[in-house]
Chain A
Amino acid sequence: MGARTGVKSKKPSANGNGRFLELRLYVAGQSPKSLVALANLKKFCAEHLDGQYELQVIDLVKTPQLAQNDQILAIPTLVRKLPVPIRKIIGDLSDTTRVLVGLDLRDKAGAE
């Protein structure tokens, strides 16, 4: 979809810890919270996900019709589409531990 902006994607690779994450970050324009969240997320991904993820950033100001599918209320919201079940993390993602818990990666993160 053309409406998706800032798509950062890496092909899944066979190596790593075998967990591939499909993430969506919902933001509203260039609001401070959105910008902070995006920056925090990029940092988090680089530190913890080892390229095993696909991230879409969706700007609801441009594509409001996309809010319903993932039941977005709060901005910013990070949605883990895969693996199921869906997980949601709301807020500016400033607390890395909570993001790990929210993405259900804590045990693996600790094991690394």
Chain B
Amino acid sequence: MKRLDKSPTGIVGFDEVTNGGVPKGRPTIVCGGPGCGKTMFALEFLVRGATDFNEPGVLMTFEETSEEMSKNVASLGFDLQKLAAKKKLVLEYVRIEPSEIQETGEYDLEGLFIRMQHAVKSVGAKRVVLDTLEAIFSGFSNTGMLRAEIRRLFRWLKDHGLTTVVTAEKGEGTLTRYGLEEYVSDCVIFLDHRVTDQISTRRMRVVKYRGSSHVADEVPFLIDERGFSVLPSSSMKLNHEVSSERISSGVKDLDEMLEGKGFYRGSSILISGTAGTGKSSMAAHFAQETCRNGERCLYIALEESPAQAMRNMRSIGVDLEKHVRKGLMRFEAWRPTQSGLEMHLLQIHKLVEQHKPSTVIIDPLTSLMTGGRDQLHSMLMRLIDYLKMQQITGFFTALTTGRNKEIEETDVGISSLIDTWIFARDVELNGERNRCLHVLKSRGMANSNQIREFVMSKEGIHLLPVYVGNGTMLTGSARISQEARERAENLQRQQTAEEQQRVLSGKRKALEAQIAALRLEYAQEETRATLVKQQDARRERELSEDMLQMESFRSGARRGKIGGRNGKVEVEHGS
């Protein structure tokens, strides 16, 4: 089966919502109340056709002159006169002035057909815009004829394969005031402009699209200096590519808590906490880390001006100005109340497209919560989807107002969209308030379950392990005093040990001295004993010599020698 041919409008987001644009070669009706943007839509369809798709167009206006129209869209950067001069566009103003017309007898609108035909032929038009066709109802009294002629006109446009956009004013309880939708049955788009809480939002709905699937929801759209942009609620599939590359958070201690590697590239990170828990500082560190790696970072500040934020970050040793000058970092700040959520989203889209960052930081996200949480949720979903599609890491901070348990519940609305959720809280203890931080969840990694104390200094952020002992958790000076106490105790223990050591070594020395004295005494004894022995031996020798002498002296040479048998001699001598 042949699929319905579509003609891309070139309008940002619209072609996605309708899976390709408006029906090719058929009329599409764009209706809505005054100021809903239908003319803008039609014009952009025409201009983009002429500039981007090489499809010349005919603009037939019934209410505004060509000059007025050209002026109106000049602010969007559309130069109708130039396009007309280049034969890309025909501007045909059809003026209807009922006061100067008198009807007498039968007539038809052949003149309109002739003009249309002529205009289409002169540039070889593929696209036609009729803005606002219904104005002809005010000029002619014969509505039966008018309806027949309108039917004929649409027939004619279809027969000539012209992709047409017809704008029409909304009626009471009907899509269009004159029921034009009965003639244009292929595609009907309804635009709406409403103001909620003083903030205007524009929404678009594809009421009908014959033979094609489309997003049936109301989708927000914007008209700004770039033209018409439709923001699809979210891509219907969750099929973005994922990266397993890890990137540092810029805080070494935090990386440590995330398997020592940091975040996943392209993931969404939320750091939430009460006021003054260091969320922005974490964001600044992350921004700095991105730029240090030579990557681009987009920092959207919704509470501080860029200058103020940068000054504040300098105090904790983060110099973002350097990176801004280098062009790696883009610092954008605006008041969250200045426009509706869609405008914020679009602004972010635009900045991302211009700057092409690898990380986007929004500080704080909760400032956008002007339009209620439901809206924020859907906007965030769109934003996160958008960032993920492009593998951009999103780092958001969120200010929470409650305490403890409540806080975690408050953010549940957005937590499901977040991959890594870091929670900063303050702990009040002993008249102090100290910052603590823990990783609430981090998809796809074994994150630390520790609560760390968050300390900011000129050298940046450090996450200290908190003192956990005796069933309590101590932070700040309580931790410091506890640590001091422990140090004192340690010192004391050490001193006692040293003292004992000293005593012991004294004892040892004394004993050693005693031993030395005893040894000396023993040695002396020994010497004396040897001496005595020697003396004895000598005396004996002398004695035996004496005896020999005496013997020889008494018996002359009778016995000669007595050999070695002194003992015998001695005994004999002694007896």
Contact = CB atoms under 8 A, between A and B. Distances in A.
Interface of A: 26, 28, 31, 33, 36-37, 40, 60-61, 64-65, 67-68, 71-77, 85-95, 98-99, 101-102
B103 A90 contact: yes
Contact of B107 (A33, A85, A101): A33
Contacts, number: 98
Contacts of A40: 105
17 contacts: A33-B106, A33-B108, A68-B115, A73-B94, A73-B136, A74-B109, A75-B110, A77-B111, A86-B100, A88-B102, A89-B101, A90-B104, A91-B106, A92-B106, A92-B107, A98-B102, A98-B103
Contact of A71 (B95, B114, B118, B140): B95
A28 B116 CA distance: 14
Interface string B91-130: 0111111001111111111111011011000000000000
Given A73-B94, A73-B96, A74-B107, A64 B102 contact: no
B153 to A, nearest CB: 11
B139 interface: yes
A29 B333 CA distance: 65
Interface string B505-520: 0000000000000000
Given A64-B117, A65-B118, A72 B104 contact: no
Interface of B: 92-97, 100-112, 114-115, 117-118, 136, 139-140
A60 B107 CA distance: 15
A28 B103 CA distance: 18
Contacts of A92: 104-107
Nearest to B136: A73
Nearest to A79: B100
Given A68-B92, A98-B102, 7 more contacts: A28-B111, A28-B114, A33-B106, A33-B108, A64-B115, A75-B108, A102-B104
Most chain B CB atoms below 10 A, which of A65, A74, A93: A74
Given A86-B100, A98-B103, A74 B108 contact: yes
B344 to A, nearest CB: 45
Nearest to B116: A64
A91 B107 contact: yes
